[in-house]
A and B are shown apart, each in its own frame.
Chain A
């Protein structure tokens, strides 16, 4: 079935110079395994093709079921140089959660409580 990443993960983002950092964490272990395989730097770069004009770096934080991405050249210069509304990339995390993906068993990945 098709879902949006927001159904199985949460995110936070902020600025790193002229790039943004986008952290995404899965609600469950199954969700983290899924994200780890799915979210390559290329996939992120394609998703943010109208926002990110530089390289994408990826880091894994399995201890908190999270992946961290640095989206270089995504803030129109960053800091006080930027003319953009979201000059600090505060909303890039939510942008990632819009990604549509195919999953087999979404119930194993949803927020459990």
Chain B
């Protein structure tokens, strides 16, 4: 367990499912790292995966991870870099088997692959209710009975312990179901340094490190307000944590990569998706983000220290999802003189034609936006007086799929039956998409156990 390293280099090469695969490829190629973490799970992902698994028992995990693994595993093995990915979705076992097939296909051997599960409680709901769990909505206080019958996935956010066990048992690749983003980096820290789960300051430090790197390049200059200052976005360096045994760490990136690691780039990400900064709750620790100190140690290297944490709560967060109706959004581009007025007229025409068909949507169930005319900053930014082109982005949602589909038919006709200059109906008629809503709840920690499985290929 204690390999007595002074410093361990943990990188994050994937901020979300869909991030550039150049992140992990270049992190391995362009300098030394010990661990490569990859985050694949957004809120919406679990429900999609649960559906895929219903149709195909071998599906339900992040298939992009397998393609990436085929590309990077030889180099990772050669350099001794261990990979930790939240790619397991609701079928970590199938993901492990697919990863094992990659090992064989590449002609490698002796690769240990682990799964960390126990997060999926969809099949345990009856049992947990009998054990006293209420699943009351933790944001609104709403009653579980209102959604229970339509729940399509339910996963618990788990902490770092399962990842630590997998690494202790020698895993080269760790495939996790739902774990918190910071757990992906906290796991290897605890494994390397043997930190106690009661050493809250160190757990807090690892959690802050994880928060900083969890969105990949967002802490190395991407999405920074002062963007003119940032060089070489194309080859931006993905972040590396250099953690020390005492819990102090540096955020850096490989030399000669784009972007920057500065007080501002790190501060920007510290603020991201923050709630109450003094009580940042994770399964392992409650972190006080107002204790974080930053110092520019040298160019592209920020020292992070002074972090305090306290004992975790007795609860874990559950994220359940349920089907909540349908939506469709389509767009047209309107060009030429008085573009905005014509776009507004187009929207009005669509609502009137639907009314003729007795199809109505409540105010909160529909939208007409005009990108190009200060949509994102409505009421704040100025609307340009004479834009030559304006986009009409129009959409509805409803429990009745047929109503949503009827709406979708009335957008493209504006090209030949409305004011002049209507074009850009790329994609044609929009599809009615299912809306997946979330149900956040708390569950007693004692009711959930992480399960670790290791297999050598």
Contacts and interface: CB of A to CB of B under 8 A. Distances in A.
Interface string A1-33: 000001000111111110001011101000000
Contacts of A60: 290
Contacts of A47: 380
Contact of A66 (B223, B267, B278): B267
Kindly state the interface size class of chain B when it binds its partner.
Answer: 35 or more
Nearest to B227: A10
Contacts of B395: 83
B371 interface: yes
B271 A12 contact: yes
Contacts of B423: none
Interface in B362-413: 366-367, 369, 371, 375-381, 393, 395-397
Contacts of B270: 23, 61, 64, 66
A84 B277 contact: no
Contacts of A79: 43-44, 436-438
Nearest to A26: B267
A63 B293 contact: yes
Q: Please classify how large the interface on chain A is, using the bins under 10, 10 to 19, 20 to 34, 35 or more.
A: 35 or more
B366 A64 contact: no
A85 B271 contact: no
A6 B369 CA distance: 26
B367 A61 contact: no
A37 interface: no
Q: Is the interface of A mostly helix, strand, loop or mixed?
A: mixed
A98 B293 CA distance: 28
Nearest to A24: B271
Contacts of B271: 11-12, 21, 23-25, 61, 64, 66, 68
A75 B277 CA distance: 22
A23 B223 CA distance: 13
Given A63-B291, A95-B377, A84 B369 contact: yes
A21 B273 contact: yes
A11 B264 CA distance: 10
Contacts of A61: 270-271, 277, 289-290
Given A11-B225, A25-B268, A68-B277, A85 B290 contact: no
Contact of B275 (A21, A24, A65): A21
Interface in A55-113: 59-66, 68, 70, 76, 79-81, 83-86, 91, 93-95, 97-98, 111
Which residue, A10, A27, A62, has most C-beta atoms of chain B within 10 A?
A: A10
B55 to A, nearest CB: 20
Contacts of A95: 376-377, 380-381
A25 B292 CA distance: 14
Interface in B280-294: 289-294
A64 B219 CA distance: 14
B329 interface: yes
Nearest to A27: B264
Contacts of B377: 51, 91, 94-95, 98
Given A11-B225, A61-B271, A97-B225, A83 B396 contact: yes
A10 B226 contact: yes
Contacts of A6: 225
A53 to B, nearest CB: 10
B139 interface: yes
A81 B396 CA distance: 10
A63 B225 contact: no
Contacts of B327: 80-81, 83
A14 B273 contact: yes
B249 interface: no
Contact of A16 (B225, B273, B294): B273
B272 interface: yes
A49 B225 CA distance: 23
Given A59-B276, A61-B289, 9 more contacts: A21-B273, A24-B271, A61-B271, A65-B267, A68-B275, A79-B43, A79-B437, A91-B377, A94-B377
Interface of A: 6, 10-17, 21, 23-25, 27, 47-51, 59-66, 68, 70, 76, 79-81, 83-86, 91, 93-95, 97-98, 111
23 contacts: A10-B225, A10-B268, A11-B268, A11-B271, A13-B272, A21-B275, A23-B272, A25-B267, A49-B379, A59-B274, A59-B276, A62-B290, A66-B271, A68-B274, A68-B275, A68-B277, A76-B367, A79-B436, A81-B327, A83-B396, A85-B376, A86-B375, A91-B377
Top 3 nearest A-B pairs by Cβ distance?
A23-B271, A50-B379, A10-B225
